[in-house]
Structure 1
């Protein structure tokens, strides 16, 4: 089998400019034995297709962990960018492959790659797919909870838009800003639009502003159907003062800021009180 020989590439020294190669195909299809034979034969693991996708992108996008391992061990560039600016870690988070995410991070992948106007962060991608375990791992590695994408907003916006309540809980417990805005839209606006009473409750418990108005001067309740459970829930919150539990949680978290989860874990707080500071 003929193997591509590396050539200079004007968009960064990551291999040659090529159509989709046999290395891409093997990585995408999870053909580890074929991929190993190609690598042993001298094939470039950093060869890029016309859309700047590397074999590592292909393997991560389809959760082919064994191929990811082979590529990384053979010198694949862990933070290579495709034409949209996405890194292999973004693709692994999108596919929900925890094993691929672990491998990439172990080999130095950036949990916070510089964002461009055309790409979201790995944490955005994990939240988009509701890949809760990936979300937890990224946060443990320092992924920015407030990474801002021009189209999506913050990861919390993404989790709410895509109806992933478990991701919402993880983000909030980690210290994500509940009232972050994109065009004045808050995560609560999205939860209301999706008619998710349970998500509305979680957000409000963490201090979501039920009176916040978006660019159309609409409050969250304005996106619900009159008389529906989500509408009744929001109206009840609008007309009822915060409980002692809510006030306590907000006071502690506001005082500690984004370090709240770590600081709370270091305090000698009775387990029964921890229930007031987090949401399971």
Structure 2
């Protein structure tokens, strides 16, 4: 959607993953109150039904769809239900995500990493791949909103799996934004800092296929203490975050002005400015290099 066009949400349909609570539910509520049909999808069936009832009390047209975002066939089934119920799909919000387990690199659990990658990265790919043909089909344009994080703009110590996947989401968003622009599909990366959600409790919904990873109860006393401290710190940060309802309103505000990156915490600009300065310094170094400075002035590959 062009930032020069008036944005109309009413009567259109949004599919939101991880929508039984937190950011996903807040976005469903916000878009529903703007007149959109909302499809809420989540792996937690009980929480999903509760969310559906809450939205119905607000007179929002809602469809609930149980969804494990790591299963492409379930994405396809959910979109089929969406089309059967509302006729068209205009927006997909790839919100479902997990925080992983904080820790040092030498304490990395490979199964936890695979879980985080499959949910946070592959889940976004699957959602976009499954939804894009339906958004293209009606020719009215639409939106793909990928929930990344400030961790995708700046690595976070002891949270490398989370940071890596969120950086990938930002990069995928940048790629798809160029690819889908001719189809009037606006692709944006939502990059919040701390928001009051249950991201620090992600292990509660870890799928059975990832249960080969150590569970908390199997840890040694030393590991238990370390993880208890790590999760306790994460919980404190999350609880200090902004309300999810405020974030949802900020998303609409940013979509209305055509933003590709949606930031909710302007106080983090200094961190991204520092990163940009390091990148600029590194390019300056390359320009002075006798090995590669002859490339100055060469045309870049067209994007």
TM-score normalised by structure 2 residue count: 0.31
| Greater strand fraction, Structure 1 or Structure 2 | 2
Higher relative contact order (CA 8 A, sep 6+): 2
- Could you tell me the TM-score, scaled by structure 1's length? 0.32
Bigger Rg, structure 1 or 2: 1
